[in-house]
Amino acid sequence: MSRILYIEDEFTNRLLIKRVLEAQGHVVFEAESGTSGLQMAQTCNPDLILMDINLPDIDGYECTARLRKMPDFNTLPIIALTANAMVGDADKALAAGCDGYISKPIDVDTLPRQVMNFINTRSSKGIPLRDSPLSGGAGRLPGRDRRTT
């Protein structure tokens, strides 16, 4: 379970992505503009931000650049949502400080896995996972060993 902030001005996209990610157990926060996204980022303590590029006030590039200047957000995973047709958008998003990008239209079948990959990539860089598969090994003996016969 992760806390995900989704900055997106299109209501239908927010509705869809929120539903898909909540079905995976994530908590989704929404902001409908760049400025409200910046404010919400500082109050909702996200594990990852999904950043639409075309926003009505400040765009996703500028929003990402501003977040990167804040100590709390200089290593947070920020994923840009870029329009498929705009090839240069992905490069601009990475240059602005995004960790990666997902092309629109969003594929709801692969989105949850993409999101988890970005969160886990950060974990492997030094922040421990809360539930390491190695931590509970002693309790996972095969059932046959404990069966009384």
* Nearest approach, Cβ of residue 77 and Ca ion (Å): 20
Residue 99 half-sphere exposure, CB side, CA atoms within 13 Å?
20
Q: Which is nearer to Ca ion, 65 or 83 (by Cβ)?
A: 83
* Nearest approach, Cβ of residue 44 and Ca ion (Å): 20
Q: Which is nearer to Ca ion, 9 or 57 (by Cβ)?
A: 9
* Nearest approach, Cβ of residue 70 and Ca ion (Å): 23
Q: In the numeric block, which tokens belong to residue 32?
A: 């409908």
Give backbone dihedrals phi and psi of 85, rounded to 5 degrees, phi first. -70, -25
Give backbone dihedrals phi and psi of 67, rounded to 5 degrees, phi first. -60, -40
What are the residues binding Ca ion (CB under 5 A)? 9, 52, 54
As a whole number of angstroms, the distance between CA 29 and CA 136 comes to 32
Q: Which is nearer to Ca ion, 14 or 66 (by Cβ)?
A: 14
